[in-house]
Amino acid sequence: MLRTRLDCFSGAEARADAAASMEIGEAKPIRSSEVGSAATPHCLYEVFSTPYTDEEVARGVRAKQSICKGVVVEVAHCIRIPKQEYSVLEHYLYVGRNGCMLMALGVGSLFNHSKQPNLYFAIDHDHLVIRYEAARNIAAHEELTICYGSESKLWFEDRSVNTLQNSSSMVHEYMDDETSFLAGLQLDNGNE
């Protein structure tokens, strides 16, 4: 399907694309009851190498095309990691209920941080699923970011660049202070 640069990818298009791919036998529908509160979305992103983080292999996730505000960009299924075994992965884990750690599969653990993120995320604790949604219209090739929490609690120097206006209020509106931070932040709070 041809799109102009200004067109945004919407949920309806995602469903149409999924239906089209089913016709050629590439995809099967996933009922929402199978995955908790959200079905797996059409893939709107790609992983890229980024120079601004310090990992041995430094990656980020970016939009393959423009994405409309409100579109579910990713639904990451998670593996629960016992408290005593998470240390090697600590900068990649989300904090679940009762302090348990969640390893997000797919690209859920590869989103970099921004204090002006273009994705909200919400943890469905009952189904061990994290759902990521566009917080605003996102341009093609823009990096997809989430907010790990307040700057004072980050364990690295924040090198992200972002142009989102009015973002600070959005960050907290969608984050559950007890459960949504990545593990590093909770360690920073002295909860080791």
Please identify, among the stretches 1-9, 52-60, 126-134, 162-170, the one whose residues bind ligand SAM according to the rule CB under 6 A: 52-60
* Residue 158 binds to ligand SAM (criterion: CB under 6 A): yes
Please identify, among the stretches 72-80, 111-119, 127-135, 165-173, the one whose residues bind ligand SAM according to the rule CB under 6 A: 111-119
* Residue 52 binds to ligand SAM (criterion: CB under 6 A): yes
122: Cβ–Cβ under 8 A, 6 or more apart, which residues?
130, 131, 133, 174, 176, 180
* Residue 35 binds to ligand SAM (criterion: CB under 6 A): no
Please identify, among the stretches 4-12, 38-46, 80-88, 154-162, the one whose residues bind ligand SAM according to the rule CB under 6 A: 154-162
* Residue 55 binds to ligand SAM (criterion: CB under 6 A): yes
* Residue 46 binds to ligand SAM (criterion: CB under 6 A): no
* Residue 59 binds to ligand SAM (criterion: CB under 6 A): yes
* Residue 109 binds to ligand SAM (criterion: CB under 6 A): yes
User: In the complex, which residues of this chain contact ligand SAM (CB under 6 A)?
Assistant: 52-55, 57-60, 91-92, 109-110, 112-114, 156, 158-160
